[in-house]
């Protein structure tokens, strides 16, 4: 009797396996299950912490589908350098020409107009030096593994930052890809 029960159990399992994987054909698969972007590849990046942001960074690329009011504004220049200090100071330099020289020497001449703090989930809050009003909020992600170049031809390297400027409604306005610069 025990042999019959065992045989039926094995036969039942084999017949179920023969049907193949179950697939829902009456509705599309959830996009979150098929996504190949940053959400599905979360192991390739993580939210920034305050320590990740410290130092000098240079712009690798930027991208925006947002139409800016002033297309000649310095934040759209091709050469940009940023500095985040451990005292909470944030400085930047923007140029149409390559920015040469040591970052620490260059930023000595730049006045401290902004402060930053890193909030939950890698949100970088920028404020005027003497004010409480938030001027900008960035979502900051640090790359944890090298990633090959994609459509825009720029590879992401371990340690790079991807910073997304968030609009007042939480929408992404502008994306900066930054790479650590020698002090």
Q: Which pLDDT score is estimated for 173?
A: 87
Is a pLDDT exceeding 60 seen at residue 15? no
Share of the chain above pLDDT 70, in %: 72
- First vs last Cα of the chain: how many Å apart? 79
pLDDT value for 143: 95
Model-level pTM greater than 0.85?
Answer: no
What's the chain's length in residues? 183
Higher confidence at residue 36 or residue 146?
Answer: 146
What pLDDT, on a 0 to 100 scale, did the predictor assign at position 11? Answer: 34
Residue with more model confidence, 65 or 110: 110
- List Cβ neighbours of 126 (8 Å cut-off, separation of 6 or more): 90, 114, 115, 116, 134, 135, 136, 137, 138
Provide the pLDDT confidence category of residue 67 given band limits of 50, 70 and 90: low
Mean pLDDT value of segment 91-105: 90
Question: What pLDDT does residue 68 have?
Answer: 62
Place of tokens 């019959």: 4
Q: Could you give the domains of the chain?
A: 42-181 (2.40.128)
Count each helix (H run) and each strand (E run) in the chain, helices first: 4, 9
pLDDT at 27: 26
């Amino acid at each position: 009797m025990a042999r019959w029960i065992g045989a039926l159990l094995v036969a039942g399992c084999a017949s179920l396996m023969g049907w193949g994987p179950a697939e829902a054909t009456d509705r599309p698969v959830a996009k979150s299950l098929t996504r190949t972007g940053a959400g599905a590849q979360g192991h390739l990046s993580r939210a920034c912490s305050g320590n990740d942001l410290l130092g000098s960074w240079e712009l690798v690329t930027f991208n925006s589908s947002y139409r800016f009011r002033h297309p000649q504004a310095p934040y759209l220049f091709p050469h940009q350098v940023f500095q985040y200090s451990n005292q909470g100071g944030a400085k930047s330099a923007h140029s149409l020409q390559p920015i040469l020289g040591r970052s620490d020497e260059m930023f000595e001449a730049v006045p401290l107009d902004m402060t930053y703090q890193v909030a939950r989930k890698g949100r970088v809050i920028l404020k005027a030096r003497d004010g409480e009003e938030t001027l900008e909020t960035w979502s900051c992600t640090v790359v944890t593994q090298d990633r090959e170049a994609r459509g825009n031809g720029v590879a992401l390297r371990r340690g790079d930052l991807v910073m997304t400027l968030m609009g007042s409604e939480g929408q992404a306005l502008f994306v900066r890809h930054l790479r650590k610069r020698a002090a």
